[in-house]
Chain A
Amino acid sequence: MGSFLEIFDIYLLEAVLNGILLGGVLALLALGLNLIFGVIDVTWICYAELVMIGMYGMYYLVQYYGLSYYAAAPLAILLVAALGALLHFLVIAPLLSSPPINQLLATGGVLFVLQSFATVAFGIDFRNLGIRLPILTLGDMHLSYSRLLAFGAALIGMIVVYLFMTRTFTGTAIRAIAQDRQIMALMGVDAKKIYVVTSALGGALAGLAACLLVLQYDVHPFVGLSFGPITFLICVLGGLGNFVGGFVAAFLFAEIISLGGLFSDLEWGYVLAFAFFIVMMFVRPAGLLARRS
């Protein structure tokens, strides 16, 4: 009995740690989406598909052009950042004053366009980088390096964004514009420029997530579906546009998935997470950290 408990605790600890590692990447995904929503007041339904394009970017840069992982990553981030800015120019900017439902439909349309484009251009085969990172063994626990790397990089990415948002004039303007759109011109701020910078930043975060996820998942045109919905749930649970709420919700979800997976199958972890979400929507419909007003 004693030895059983010992082993059990090790598995529990491993699951908790894996949950934290997963939470880092989910928090990164949620931050990008929250940034766009908080600043531009538009939801990029196609956010996970930008990540998918970034993953293909990594795949081609590494497998076809023979770049090292670390050389390819900045290029992939730039690619998706440019895609984010382009998405703003072509789709969002013309619809800025349209009803929200039209904006949702338009970015939802982009989701299908990107999926179809990937299917036609890259085929439906599952592809991977062919990089296998070692597994770290701590006592009886096994943690994969790809998850550790993803967690560390996601954390650094979020710290960089935090510093940018708090220390620079442009970052401060990004936070300000979410609070009062109309008077930005009085501050000498060109709102259009801030929107483009924000879109590129949101794209860059999707690009960073792509670089990290491509180490753990195979790429295929519909890979966005495996983390797109969960990212939306996290953002909604945290309160759309609320950065801190999204961060907390990401780790909450990750632990539910990871611990739920420990006690039954991994799929049940997701079911539990969704069930938790539904319950929370009744308890706190405006999000975990909703401002009381």
Chain B
Amino acid sequence: MLELKSVDAGYGSFHALFGVNLEVKAGEAVGVIGPNGAGKTTLMRVISGLIRPTKGSITMQGTNVLTTPAHKIVELGIAHVPENRRLFPRLTVEDNLKMGAYMPAARARYAERLDFVFNLFPRMKERRHQLAGTMSGGEQQMCAIGRALMSDPKLLLLDEPSAGLAPVVVQQVFELVKRIRAGGLTVLIVEQNVQQVLQVVDRAYLLEAGSIRTSGSSAELLASDTIRQAYLGV
């Protein structure tokens, strides 16, 4: 579905990604794990067009992502839940969801998509008229994921969905990701919370200092010595 080939990217003179190869097949849940500053967020931003790579290629179901204008990438079926949620704090929950359905195809099915998201998150239905910035972190994360789902994407990019949340809420967020997966959505998830994410995804890549160090199935990575020592603390 999504394919990155030897992607280099950075900000000005600072290089964040070096020759990254990554593939996500339809129906898979794939994780990208790694320490702070490894380039995980940059990777997500490169896929959704917020920044453009300096080298390499990115294709989504055969379409060249790099020649697609950034605001048209969501129409390829890629929805990005950005780091720190980035809701519009002074818009209501419903207006935030409305923004997720901005593209013409989703706009035409707005009522249906809204029902879908409200079914998935009954809490959002209760809070639909509340300003997004006044909700708890966990609720905001639900709203951010709901907003991304409004466009009826094929691929959901989740950037650190557990960041800044209480442990109980983190548990809930990962439960949610499982449910979304079960609905047939392809998911690419970036996380520092290695233990948790490996229980949700099929495969994962380890990104360190802007390069893919290793990759494998969740079971393989959980058993690998490097991962166990560096990231699981056992």
Q: Give a binary string over B61-87; 1 marks a CB under 8 Å from any A CB, 0 the rest.
A: 000000001111111000110100010
Whether A176 and B71, one on each chain, are in contact in the complex, defined by CB atoms closer than 8 angstroms, is no
Q: Closest B-chain residue to A183, C-beta based? A: B86
Query: Chain A residues with Cβ under 8 A from B121's Cβ?
Result: none
Query: Chain B residues with Cβ under 8 A from A183's Cβ?
Result: 50, 82, 86
Contact of A176 among B75, B88, B103, B106 (CB under 8 A): B88
Query: Chain B residues with Cβ under 8 A from A175's Cβ?
Result: 88, 90-91, 95
Whether B98 and A169, one on each chain, are in contact in the complex, defined by CB atoms closer than 8 angstroms, is yes
Asked, given contacts A187-B99, A188-B71, A188-B151, whether A172 binds B91 with beta carbons under 8 Å apart, the answer is: yes
Q: Closest B-chain residue to A170, C-beta based? A: B102
**Is residue B49 contacting chain A, with contact meaning CB distance below 8 A?**
yes
Whether A179 and B71, one on each chain, are in contact in the complex, defined by CB atoms closer than 8 angstroms, is no
How many CB-defined contacts (below 8 Å) exist between A and B?
62
Q: Give a binary string over B91-107; 1 marks a CB under 8 Å from any A CB, 0 the rest.
A: 10001001111110011
CB distance from A235 to the nearest CB of B (A): 19
Whether B50 and A184, one on each chain, are in contact in the complex, defined by CB atoms closer than 8 angstroms, is no
Q: Give a binary string over B18-62; 1 marks a CB under 8 Å from any A CB, 0 the rest.
A: 000000000000000000000000000000111000000000000
Query: Chain B residues with Cβ under 8 A from A267's Cβ?
Result: none
Q: Closest B-chain residue to A186, C-beta based? A: B80
**Is residue A113 contacting chain B, with contact meaning CB distance below 8 A?**
no
Whether A179 and B75, one on each chain, are in contact in the complex, defined by CB atoms closer than 8 angstroms, is no
Q: Give complex CA distance A184, B72 in Å.
A: 11
Q: Closest A-chain residue to B69, C-beta based? A: A190
**Is residue A185 contacting chain B, with contact meaning CB distance below 8 A?**
yes
Q: Give complex CA distance A173, B91 in Å.
A: 10
**Is residue A180 contacting chain B, with contact meaning CB distance below 8 A?**
yes
Contact of B72 among A176, A180, A182, A188 (CB under 8 A): A188
Binding site for A on B (CB under 8 A): 48-50, 69-75, 79-80, 82, 86, 88-91, 95, 98-103, 106-107, 147, 151
**Which are the 8 A-B pairs with shortest beta-carbon distances?**
A188-B103, A185-B70, A188-B74, A179-B88, A185-B71, A190-B71, A176-B88, A187-B99
